[in-house]
């Protein structure tokens, strides 16, 4: 066994050398704890460092308010299902039927490919929340009220136009030729003024609604993106990236369009319908009675078709998400697709999903056309009945013209309401999908908790009786009663067969997940009591096997590890990572754009930039997850030199594939089936002739040194 004396930091970046003490070997492979460091002073304040301060913006305020909505709703009594046909007039029986049909559509099972985080008896369909919508609309309330007033004004003027047209027709029908121009001037000027004023009001409310819609959509996108960034890693394990992006783009765009149309056209159509019915009754009560008889048929048809559209709309949106997911996955892995010549297969898959989506949307459009065609009976009936009244001199030509124009206005308004009902259903369904993710609370919070002063931080890590299963695979236990100590300023390597849980150990240390049971301790404190943002941003540096770079300059990729770093600090980190020479060899030097995911760089170059990115924040703990396993021999040599320099004076956890890279580690732990089965130095493990010796033998036979 090996015990290590504590390593104390004199200043940031300066570490005293430690003395390795030999002790009697035992059969127990675990590293026993020495006397821990004295009590640490832990800051429990909520103050953030400059790099992690969060400015309270409208999306941030909305996100916090959204988190309260589910908790408040859970304490309220259940309410009847929301009925989206409240604005439609008709007999009580039809309204009850629409309620039942709407409820049936509302309870339709969700067709979603997302893998649930937990096994559930029935997947819950996202529900539209008016309280959440209010949080987005409230900042734009004055502009929205102004738009509504202008829309009502435009609708009121539109009601007067049929009456003015009737007066104009009466002048044409009754006056003699000599008095025609004199008598027609007044009604013509009134009609012209009405059209002009209506145009101004219409332009005004369209401009205001465009402003409200765009700002609400922008706040929704920012708030949703904020919520997604706050989710833990398990959430992204269970949901496809393409479907998340679809909610950020297509669903919010659908909701924005529906929001604008329903408010502008909906209010206008409803006002015109009511106002024109009043005008119709004044002009001819008999013809109005005929119209009222036809109206319930339209209401019934709208209820039946609308309930079907609600169900189909959700399926259509899910189908769009599937098509987006296929495209995102294909384009994101285009090199693999090209390498296997699978372009045609991917195209067929995408085309099939798009065709399904197109077929569903065609059906939705057909439903809208049925509603429009059903309302034409009003006009035909009015023409026949109005002609009969004129033949008996019970109606003047001007009154008939006014009645026909007003009835056509009613027809257009009802047709618009039918179309808007389908659009409203689509918008509410899209909004519910967005609101679903706004209300999610992450299992592992992004911020909040204590901090250990960096001057007193030693970097000792203890894994104590850890049991763990990934949330997406709860029945597959990865770690079983796992125990391990990482002494301060020492290097511990974990090796083993693939799937043994090596990378899981690193994920738990970064607190990407919380263990099912047990504790991960940092300097004697459970990391669940510490601020995760501080832990990842200042304490731990992580270098993976396949580093991901952003499609920006080399300078910005390295500075990503410490946004406040100066150019000199970036260059110093690059030199420490053996990256400065090849970077300065580029035409644009540190301003060279590396392409998406660093596609223009070699594997060794990407790895060294990733090392510089991790080192620039001067972490106390460094995690190397198979950092050189994917490199050729020369690149591995250069990267290994950088890693040897980077690990000096730090607590280091190495997840190793090539065993030749960890022979100098202070301790090597061999994992199998979620447990450590061997531990010791390279020579000790070879002498035991166990699993480590077998792994060495296999790699040598495969051509690895």
Percent with pLDDT over 90 in the chain: 6
Lowest mean pLDDT among 91-95, 231-235, 254-258, 308-312: 91-95
What 3 state SS string does 594-622 have? CCHHHCCCCHHHHHHHHHHHHHCCCCCEE
Per-position DSSP letters for 27-42, written without gaps between them:
S--S----PPP-PPP-
According to the model, what pLDDT value does residue 169 have? Answer: 79
Tell me whether residue 218 is exposed, middle or buried, using C-beta atoms within 10 angstroms of its C-beta: 0 to 12, 13 to 18, 19 or more. middle
Tens of pLDDT, residues 255-292: 888 888 888 788 788 888 888 888 878 888 877 777 77
Q: Which of 136, 88, 501 is nearest to 301 (CA)?
A: 88
φ and ψ of 575, to 5 deg? -65, -40
- Which residue matches tokens 């960890």? 662
pLDDT for residue 87 is more than 60? no
Most confident range, picked from 98-107, 284-293, 588-597, 655-664: 588-597
pLDDT bin (cut points 50, 70, 90) of residue 602 is: confident
User: Number of C-alpha atoms within 13 angstroms, CB side, residue 362?
Assistant: 6
Query: What is the bridge-based pairing of β-strands 675-680 and 491-496?
Result: unpaired
CA pair distance 462, 516, nearest whole angstrom? 16
Residue 115 tokens read as: 């893998």
Note whether 475 and 546 are within 8 A (CB).
no
Architecture of domain 68-74+129-438: Up-down Bundle (1.20)
How much is the pTM? 0.64
> In Å, how far are 160, 405, 406 from 399, measured between CA atoms?
13, 10, 10
The yes-or-no verdict on residue 37 having pLDDT over 60 is no
Of 459, 491, 457, nearest to 644 by C-alpha is: 491
Residue ranges of domains in the chain? 68-74+129-438, 460-701
Low-confidence winner among 176-185, 211-220, 396-405, 614-623 (lowest mean pLDDT): 176-185
Angle, CA of 34, 679 and 626, to the nearest 5°: 105
pLDDT at position 112 is 38
Q: What is the pLDDT of residue 61?
A: 61
Averaged confidence pLDDT in the chain: 74
Top CATH class, 460-701: alpha beta
CA distances, 257 to each of 214, 217, 263, 340 (Å)? 10, 10, 10, 41
Mean per-residue pLDDT, 389-414 = 77
The upper half-sphere exposure of residue 356, i.e. CA atoms within 13 Å in the direction of its Cβ, equals: 16
Q: pLDDT tier at 18 (50, 70, 90 boundaries)?
A: very low
Distance, in Å, from the CA atom of 558 to the CA atom of 565, rounded to the nearest integer, reads: 9
What residues contact residue 490 under an 8 Å CB cut-off, 6+ apart?
4, 7, 18, 651, 652, 666, 667
Q: Which of 539, 556, 549 is nearest to 618 (CA)?
A: 539
pLDDT score, position 372: 56
User: What is the Cα Rg of the chain in Å?
Assistant: 35
Residue with tokens 């096994």: 119
């Amino acid at each position: 066994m090996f015990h290590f004396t504590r390593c104390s930091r004199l200043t940031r970046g300066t570490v005293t050398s430690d003395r390795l003490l030999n002790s009697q070997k035992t059969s127990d492979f675990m590293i026993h704890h020495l006397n821990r460091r004295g009590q640490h002073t832990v800051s429990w304040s909520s103050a953030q460092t400059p790099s992690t301060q969060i400015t309270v913006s409208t999306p941030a305020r909305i996100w916090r308010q959204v988190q309260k909505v589910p908790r408040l709703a859970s304490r309220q009594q259940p309410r009847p299902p929301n009925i989206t046909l409240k604005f439609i007039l008709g007999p009580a029986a039809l309204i009850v039927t629409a309620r039942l049909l709407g409820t049936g559509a509302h309870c339709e099972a969700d067709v979603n490919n997302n893998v649930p985080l937990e096994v559930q008896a029935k997947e819950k369909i996202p529900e539209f929340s008016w309280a959440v919508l209010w949080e987005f609309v409230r900042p734009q309330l004055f502009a929205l009220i102004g738009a509504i007033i202008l829309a009502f004004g435009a609708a009121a003027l539109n009601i007067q136009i049929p009456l003015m047209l009737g007066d104009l027709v009466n002048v044409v029908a009754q006056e003699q030729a000599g008095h025609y121009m004199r008598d027609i001037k007044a009604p013509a000027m009134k009609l012209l003024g009405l059209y002009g004023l209506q145009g101004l009001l219409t332009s005004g409310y369209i401009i205001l609604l465009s402003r409200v819609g765009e700002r609400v959509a922008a706040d929704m996108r920012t708030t949703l993106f904020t919520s997604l960034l706050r989710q833990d890693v398990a959430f992204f394990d269970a949901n496809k990236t393409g479907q998340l992006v679809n909610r950020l783009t297509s669903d919010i765009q659908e909701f924005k369009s529906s929001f604008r149309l329903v408010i502008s056209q909906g209010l206008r159509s409803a006002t015109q319908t009511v106002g024109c019915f009043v005008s119709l009754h004044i002009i001819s009560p008999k013809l109005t009675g005929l119209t009222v008889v036809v109206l319930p048929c339209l209401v019934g048809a709208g209820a039946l078709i609308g309930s079907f559209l609600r169900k189909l709309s959700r399926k259509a949106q899910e189908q769009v998400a599937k098509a987006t997911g296929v495209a995102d996955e294909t384009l994101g892995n285009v090199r693999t697709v090209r390498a296997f010549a699978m372009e045609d297969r991917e195209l067929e898959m995408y085309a099939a999903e798009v065709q399904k989506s197109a077929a569903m949307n065609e059906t939705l459009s057909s439903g809208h056309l049925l509603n429009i065609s059903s309302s034409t009976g009003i006009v035909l009936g009015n023409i026949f009945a109005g002609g009969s009244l004129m033949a008996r001199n019970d109606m003047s030509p001007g009154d008939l013209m006014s009645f026909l124009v007003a009835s056509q206005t009613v027809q257009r308004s009802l047709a618009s309401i039918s179309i808007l009902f389908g659009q409203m259903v689509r918008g509410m369904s899209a909004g519910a999908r967005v609101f679903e993710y706004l209300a999610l609370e992450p299992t592992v919070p992004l911020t909040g908790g204590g901090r250990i002063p960096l001057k007193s931080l030693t970097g000792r890590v203890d894994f104590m009786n850890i049991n763990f299963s990934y949330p997406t695979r709860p029945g597959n236990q990865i770690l079983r009663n796992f125990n391990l100590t990482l002494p301060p300023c020492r290097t511990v390597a974990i090796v083993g067969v693939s799937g043994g849980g090596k990378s899981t150990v690193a994920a738990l240390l970064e607190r990407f997940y919380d263990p099912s049971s047990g504790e991960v301790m940092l300097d004697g404190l459970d990391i669940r009591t510490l601020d995760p943002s501080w832990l990842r941003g200042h304490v731990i540096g992580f270098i993976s096997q396949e580093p991901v770079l952003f499609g920006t300059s080399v300078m910005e990729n390295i500075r990503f590890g410490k946004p406040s770093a100066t150019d000199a600090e970036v260059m110093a980190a690059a030199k420490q990572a053996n990256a400065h020479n090849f970077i300065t060899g580029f035409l644009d030097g540190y301003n060279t754009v590396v392409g998406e995911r660093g596609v223009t760089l070699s594997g060794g170059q990407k790895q060294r930039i990733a090392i510089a990115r991790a080192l620039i924040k001067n972490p106390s703990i460094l995690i190397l997850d198979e950092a050189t396993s994917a490199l050729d021999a020369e690149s591995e040599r250069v990267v290994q030199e950088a890693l040897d320099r980077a690990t000096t004076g730090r607590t280091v956890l190495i997840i190793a594939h090539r065993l030749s890279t960890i022979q100098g580690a202070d301790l090597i732990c061999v994992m199998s089936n979620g447990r450590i089965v061997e531990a010791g130095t390279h020579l000790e493990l070879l002498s035991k002739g166990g699993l480590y010796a077998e792994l060495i033998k296999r790699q040598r036979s495969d051509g690895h040194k």
